[in-house]
Amino acid sequence: MLDMLQELDRIGSKDFSSSFVAHLRLVTADDFAESDHRYHPRVVFSCTVLPEHCNRLGNMHGGATATLLDLCTSLALSLKPGGADAIGEHDGVANSGESHQGNEEGIGNDNDNVDDNDDDDGDVNDISSWRLLGVSRTLAVTYVRPAPSGTDVLIECEVVHAGRRLSSLRGILRRRSDGAVLATCEHGKVITDPPAPPSKL
């Protein structure tokens, strides 16, 4: 995951979420297995609400909140089994972002005909197919409390399900000072990546 973030920062990626990229910090990354022995990645990021993220009332704009949750929950898909040991050492790394918007070139790929049943059993141990993080299919955000400019926040992200084509992610935006919930989201994604070119071997 850090390789992806550092590359985005290096090339100066400019997309809809780029205003958050330089300000995200990776706090923790956990690739634990629950009693069902399935892989459930959880990642926590931190950042500070800046004036450019706010509305006229000086609170974080609803669209900015949705973008931040979209960005961070998508990044959880890039955490591979065993990767937490390496990633967890980088608390405070400011090289964060994601290629979600850049991948939407393929969003017109018969996306409306995705079958909810055209997926595997949801074993997120096979998360490798989400190399390019897919694109959003649904994003439901619930706003609980305002986040004024200058507020330090935590973004808790969990991969609930990741199949061959569909994934379900969950995010919670918290005020860092006391853990109060500011917003929550349920995020559904679909893979629209072009097929890999055939091998010449």
- CATH for 57: 3.10.129.10
Pairwise CA distance, residues 108 & 112, whole Å? 8
Asked if 139 and 160 count as a contact pair (C-beta separation under 8 A), the reply is no
**Amino acid in position 199:** S
Please tell me the predicted confidence (pLDDT) of residue 108: 34
Please tell me the predicted confidence (pLDDT) of residue 3: 61
Question: Does residue 18 belong to any structural domain of this protein?
Answer: yes
Pairwise CA distance, residues 32 & 29, whole Å? 9
pTM for the full predicted model:
0.73
* C-beta atoms surrounding 140 within 10 Å: 10
Q: What are phi and psi of 119, to 5 degrees?
A: -155, 170
Question: Does residue 99 belong to any structural domain of this protein?
Answer: no
For residue 173, give both structure tokens.
Answer: 């935006």
Question: Does residue 117 belong to any structural domain of this protein?
Answer: no
Question: Does residue 134 belong to any structural domain of this protein?
Answer: yes
Q: What are phi and psi of 173, to 5 degrees?
A: -100, 120
Please tell me the predicted confidence (pLDDT) of residue 38: 64
Asked if 2 and 90 count as a contact pair (C-beta separation under 8 A), the reply is yes
Question: Does residue 119 belong to any structural domain of this protein?
Answer: no
Return the closest-CA partner of residue 66 out of 120, 138, 5, 14: 138
Q: Model confidence at 112, in pLDDT bands (50, 70, 90)?
A: very low
133 lies in which domain range? 9-81+127-190
pLDDT per position as a tens digit, 54-110: 999 999 999 999 999 999 999 998 875 544 433 333 333 343 333 333 333 332 334
How many domains does the chain divide into?
1
Please tell me the predicted confidence (pLDDT) of residue 103: 34
For residue 120, give both structure tokens.
Answer: 């595997």
Question: Does residue 133 belong to any structural domain of this protein?
Answer: yes
Sign of CA dihedral 110, 111, 112, 117: positive
Question: Does residue 38 belong to any structural domain of this protein?
Answer: yes
Question: Does residue 195 belong to any structural domain of this protein?
Answer: no
pLDDT per position as a tens digit, 4-63: 565 555 545 567 677 888 889 999 988 665 555 566 789 999 999 999 999 999 999 999
Please tell me the predicted confidence (pLDDT) of residue 182: 99
pLDDT per position as a tens digit, 141-199: 999 999 999 999 999 999 998 888 999 999 999 999 999 999 999 999 999 877 666 76
**In the sheet where 181-190 sits, what is the strand order?**
25-30, 42-48, 152-162, 166-175, 181-190, 135-143
